[in-house]
């Protein structure tokens, strides 16, 4: 079945056609490890994980590389301000290395909590300085870079077209450009490839231009090329990376080898909190740990994120998390009931299950339409007959969902609502002395995996 992805580069939903059908190569911009990752960052990581799962569901092998930015990401995207790592190190009275190690560890713990697989390749910027230097030297050689007294800049006027990924308004940028940043820049939108380090700068390396450190954009270009080649299939990230970081990655690659580094550029939209931005000053920055501390299985957040398409803004609320928690419990209950189910399936039932499976497959292949895919998951979970084939189908769907559907709910003693409804109907049948109906309902409850006993205290329901 064909797969379609919305491609930021073509502004179209493009049919996926891999460069090499043996292996799909994906690069994702990873975290700058100077602070805790938020549930917003994790939304982007969940979308990337689903993307990989969809490719694997369709039979592809996937090679995924993600960088760890531990140097060179400045406070402002326009080459201004302090390095984020150094700022954190100063504020937390630690070395940049300690900061990087601490937040990298936490980042991978969060991925694990959300059942997000670790990329095949995880590469740290500080461990790839020679590759980055070589990249910049090549750009110099090709005439796309120039030196000023503070940095090595990329000259965007040398490109046939800039920007090509975003709608970056260069005229506006020119008018608003701050001339005091570096008056030696040739064009206001030129960006730093390599930055000369001031005397007391903590993270710096020897280079042909003296002690210095890399710019943020060159890191991804150099590492992407090293691990995935000059041109790979998919490049992902959050939507905020389009106008600067990804635009500049493309510029660098065109300057070095004349190629756009990826065929498909796929971007995830933002997570909002109560309709607005997450920000420290509003006190609404949430982490995976906050979800755990409220007593939820963090996987609930993963399921919650499927309520919205990855290209739309998703509004986080605790009510939403609570609803997702109940949904997770119902899906896991349904799986367990089907696992033990003994209802016979007719040809018609099997055909319906096959239709559900196909609809699910179509939905995920249509630019990862998870809200639509979830409607088919529910159709399977609510299938009237309980049978192991339904459980198998749910498990197959879980290779995309990643919600560990086969795990037991913590509160197994909690009886599902539909069983309670059957028990209530049986109570009424008994009050009406309709013993045949009462027995029929008892058998039905039994088939669904529960035992109902009549005791002096009333009815007692237990799970088989």
Residues in contact with ligand AMP by the rule CB under 6 A: 29, 31-32, 40-41, 43-44, 237-238, 240-241, 270-271, 278
Shortest spacing between CB 278 and ligand AMP, in angstroms: 5
> Rounded to the nearest whole angstrom, what is the least distance from the CB of residue 356 to ligand AMP in the complex?
31
Residue 386, φ and ψ in degrees, nearest 5: -105, 120
- Are the C-beta atoms of residues 255 and 142 closer than 8 Å to each other? yes
Burial code of 257-294, b = ≥16 C-beta within 10 A, e = fewer? eeebbbbbbbbbbbbbbeeeebeeeeeebbbbeebeee
Nearest to 195 by CA among 143, 145, 238: 145
Could you say whether residue 220 binds Zn ion (CB under 5 A)? yes
Can you tell me the distance from the alpha carbon of 187 to that of 156, in angstroms, rounded to the nearest whole number?
7
Smaller CB separation from ligand AMP, 41 or 336: 41
With CB cut-offs between 5 and 8 Å by kind, which of Zn ion, ligand AMP, none does residue 452 bind?
A: none
Residue 384 is encoded by which pair of tokens?
Answer: 């009237």
Contacts to Zn ion from residues 426-455, by CB under 5 A: none
Output 41 or 365, the one with its CB closest to ligand AMP: 41
Site string for Zn ion, 127-166 (x = CB under 5 A): ----------------------------------------
Could you tell me which stretch among 29-37, 206-214, 395-403, 455-463 binds Zn ion (CB under 5 A)?
Answer: 29-37
- When the beta carbons of 242 and 380 are compared against ligand AMP, the nearer one is 242
CB of 240 to ligand AMP, least distance (A): 4
- Binding partner of residue 278 among ligand AMP, Zn ion, none, CB cut-off 5 to 8 Å per kind: ligand AMP
User: Any contact of residue 266 with Zn ion (CB under 5 A)?
Assistant: no
| Residue 72 contact among Zn ion, ligand AMP, none, beta carbon within 5 to 8 Å by kind | none
Q: Which position's Cβ is nearest ligand AMP?
A: 238
Paired strand residues for 213: 195
Residue 29 sits in the site that holds Zn ion (CB under 5 A): yes
Phi and psi of 406, rounded to 5°? -85, 5
Residue 172 CB burial class (10 angstroms; 0-12, 13-18, ≥19): exposed
- 194: tokens are 């390599």
In the bound complex, what is the minimum distance in angstroms from residue 69's beta carbon to ligand AMP? 8
Shortest spacing between CB 43 and ligand AMP, in angstroms:
4
The option from Zn ion, ligand AMP, none interacting with 220 (CB < 5 to 8 A, set by class) reads Zn ion
What CA–CA distance (Å, rounded) separates 158 from 190?
10
* Residue 156 interface partner, choices Zn ion, ligand AMP, none, CB cut-off 5-8 Å depending on type: none
* Calpha distance 107→449 (Å, rounded): 40
Which of 133, 130, 124 is closest to 65 using CA atoms? 124
Q: Measuring CA to CA, which residue among 184, 131, 126, 122 is closest to residue 153? A: 184
Segment near Zn ion (CB under 5 A), from 216-224, 270-278, 361-369, 386-394?
216-224
Alpha-carbon gap, residue 277 to 286, rounded angstroms? 11
The footprint of Zn ion (CB under 5 A) covers 29, 220
């Amino acid at each position: 079945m064909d797969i379609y992805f919305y491609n930021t580069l073509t502004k179209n939903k493009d049919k996926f056609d891999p460069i090499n059908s043996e292996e799909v190569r994906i690069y994702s911009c990873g975290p700058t490890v100077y602070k805790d990752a938020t549930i917003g960052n994790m939304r982007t990581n969940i979308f990337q994980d689903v993307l990989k799962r969809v490719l694997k569901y369709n039979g592809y092998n996937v090679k995924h590389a993600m960088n760890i930015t531990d140097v060179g990401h400045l406070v402002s995207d326009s080459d201004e301000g302090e390095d984020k790592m150094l700022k954190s190190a100063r504020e937390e009275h630690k070395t940049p290395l300690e900061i990087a190690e601490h937040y990298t560890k936490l980042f991978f713990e969060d991925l694990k909590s959300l059942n997000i697989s670790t990329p095949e390749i995880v590469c740290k910027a500080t461990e790839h300085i020679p590759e980055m230097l070589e990249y910049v030297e090549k750009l110099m050689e090709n005439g796309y870079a120039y030196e000023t007294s503070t940095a090595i800049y990329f000259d965007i006027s040398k490109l046939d077209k800039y920007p090509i990924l975003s709608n970056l308004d260069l005229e506006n940028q020119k008018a608003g450009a701050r001339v005091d940043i570096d008056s030696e820049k040739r064009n206001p939108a030129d960006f730093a490839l390599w930055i000369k380090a001031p005397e007391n700068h903590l993270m710096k390396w020897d280079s042909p231009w003296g002690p210095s450190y890399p710019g943020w954009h060159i890191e991804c270009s150099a590492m992407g090329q090293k691990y995935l080649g000059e041109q790979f299939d998919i490049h992902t990230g959050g939507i905020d990376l389009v106008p600067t970081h990804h635009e500049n990655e493309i510029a660098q690659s065109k300057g070095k080898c004349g190629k756009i580094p990826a065929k498909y550029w796929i971007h995830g939209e933002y997570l909002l909190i109560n309709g607005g931005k997450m920000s420290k000053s509003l006190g609404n920055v949430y982490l995976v740990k906050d979800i755990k501390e409220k007593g939820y299985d963090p996987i609930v957040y993963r399921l919650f994120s499927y309520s919205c398409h990855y290209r739309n803004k998703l509004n986080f609320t605790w009510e939403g998390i609570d609803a997702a928690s109940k949904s997770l419990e119902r899906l896991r209950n349904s799986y367990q009931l089907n696992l033990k189910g003994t209802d016979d399936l007719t040809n018609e039932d099997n055909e319906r299950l096959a239709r559900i499976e196909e609809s699910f497959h179509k939905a995920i292949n249509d630019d990862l339409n998870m809200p639509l895919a979830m409607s088919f998951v529910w159709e399977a979970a609510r299938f009237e007959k309980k049978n192991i084939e339904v459980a198998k189908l749910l498990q197959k769907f879980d290779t995309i969902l990643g919600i560990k559907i086969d795990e037991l709910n913590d509160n197994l003693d909690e009886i599902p609502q539909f069983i309670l409804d059957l028990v209530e109907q049986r109570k009424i049948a008994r009050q009406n002395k309709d013993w045949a109906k009462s027995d029929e309902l008892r058998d039905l409850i039994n088939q669904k995996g529960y035992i109902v006993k009549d005791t002096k205290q009333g009815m007692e329901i237990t799970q088989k």
